[in-house]
Amino acid sequence: MKKFILLAVLALALLSFAACNNDTESGADSGTDSGRRTLVMGTSAGFLPFEFIADEGQGVIGQYAGIDVSLVYRIAQELDVDVVIQNQEFVGLIAALQSREIDFIAAGMTIRPDRAENVNFSIPYFTTGQFVVVRQDSNFHSVADLENMIVGVQFGTTADIAITDGQDDGVVTFQEIARHNQPVTAVLDLVSGSVDAVVVDAPVARGFVAQHPDTLRFFYDHTFFGPEQFGLAFHLDDLELLAEFNAVLERLLAEGFVDYLYEYYTDKLGLNE
C-alpha cells in the first residue's frame, strides 16, 4: 500500500511538473522538448494561392500549404524554429496577435498605416491590388457601374475597407455590402446570382475565375483601387523576432524565392489558365 501511495505521489508530482512546464511553454517564443522555439503562425486558410488546406498528405506546415505557408516554412528552417498554424477568420488576426494567442501573422495581409499602429510589419514581400469579380453576362466594367448593386467582400479586408470608404465618401452607393468571413462563400453567392460583384485580392480573383471560366470574369478599376503590398505581421514588442524574419526574408526575396513560389502554386493549382 505504502508503495502504491508513493507511486501515486510521484505520478502526481510528475504530472504537475509537466503541467507547469506546459504553461510556461504556451506563451510566445516558447521552447519545445527539443529546445527549439515553436512559433504560432496565425492565418486564414481560404485564400488561394497564399494559404489553403492541402490535399491529404500534401501539407507544408500541418495540413496547410500555399505561398505564405511555404515562405514561412523556409524562413523557419533558416531560423531553426518550429512553426504551428492557427487557422482562423481574417478579421480577428490582429487581435489574436495583440493577445499573444499567435506569434505572427502570415495571411496575405496588406501593409496599412492604421494596421501598423497595432502590429509591426515585415518588409513587403508581394505587390498586388484589388480585382472585381463579376458574372460574364453582366455589364459591369467599373466600380461606378455597381451603383445600387450587392457587392461581396471578405470582412475586415482591404476590399471591405475600399468598398466601405467608397460608399461613405459618396463615390458610389451600393444596395448592400455583403461581408463574408471567407471569400469563397461570397463567390458562391456571385455564381448563384445573389451577389453582383466580389472584390478580392488579384491573385485570389484570378483563381476564382479559373475555377469558373464559363461564368466569371474580373476587371481592375484603377480610379478606385491602388497598389497594395503584403507583409508578415509581428507583435509590437517583438522587435528581435521581426529583425530575424526580415533578415531571411530580404535574402529570399533577392533570390527570387517568392516569385518562384507564386509560379509554383499558380501552376500547381491551375490558376493561370
Question: From the CB of 112, what's the least distance to ligand GLN, in Å?
Answer: 7
Q: Is 129 in the site for ligand GLN (CB under 6 A)?
A: no
Buried b (16+ CB within 10 A) or exposed e, 129-164: bbbbbbbeeeebeebebbeebbbbbbbbbbbbebbe
Q: Is 107 in the site for ligand GLN (CB under 6 A)?
A: yes
User: How far apart, in whole angstroms, are the C-alpha atoms of residue 241 and residue 235?
Assistant: 9
Q: Which of 31, 47, 115 is nearest to 80 (CA)?
A: 31
Cis preceding-peptide flag for 49 (omega within 30 of 0): yes
Q: By CB under 6 A, how many residues form the interface with ligand GLN?
A: 11
- For residue 63, the one-letter residue type is Q
Residues 188-207 that bind ligand GLN (CB under 6 A): 201
Q: Is 88 in the site for ligand GLN (CB under 6 A)?
A: no
Question: From the CB of 202, what's the least distance to ligand GLN, in Å?
Answer: 10
- Of 26-34, 105-113, 236-244, 257-265, the window that binds ligand GLN (rule: CB under 6 A) is 105-113
Question: From the CB of 156, what's the least distance to ligand GLN, in Å?
Answer: 7
User: How far apart, in whole angstroms, are the C-alpha atoms of residue 185 and residue 171?
Assistant: 26
Backbone φ, ψ for residue 217 (5° rounding): -145, 170
Question: From the CB of 89, what's the least distance to ligand GLN, in Å?
Answer: 10
Residue with Cβ nearer ligand GLN (69 or 109): 109
Question: From the CB of 233, what's the least distance to ligand GLN, in Å?
Answer: 10
By rule CB under 6 A, what string of x and - marks binding of each residue 139-178 to ligand GLN? ---------------x--xx--------------------
Residue with Cβ nearer ligand GLN (48 or 76): 48
Residue with Cβ nearer ligand GLN (158 or 246): 158
Q: Is 90 in the site for ligand GLN (CB under 6 A)?
A: yes
Q: Is 7 helix (H, G, I), strand (E, B) or coil?
A: helix
Which residues pair with residue 130 across a beta bridge? 201
- Is 170:257 a contact under the CB 8 Å cutoff? no
Of 49, 66, 108, 152, the residue at the interface with ligand GLN (CB under 6 A) is 108
Residues 6 or more apart whose CB falls under 8 angstroms from that of 26 comprise none
User: How far apart, in whole angstroms, are the C-alpha atoms of residue 186 and residue 179?
Assistant: 8
Where along the sequence are the contacts to ligand GLN (CB under 6 A)? 44, 47, 90, 107-110, 154, 157-158, 201
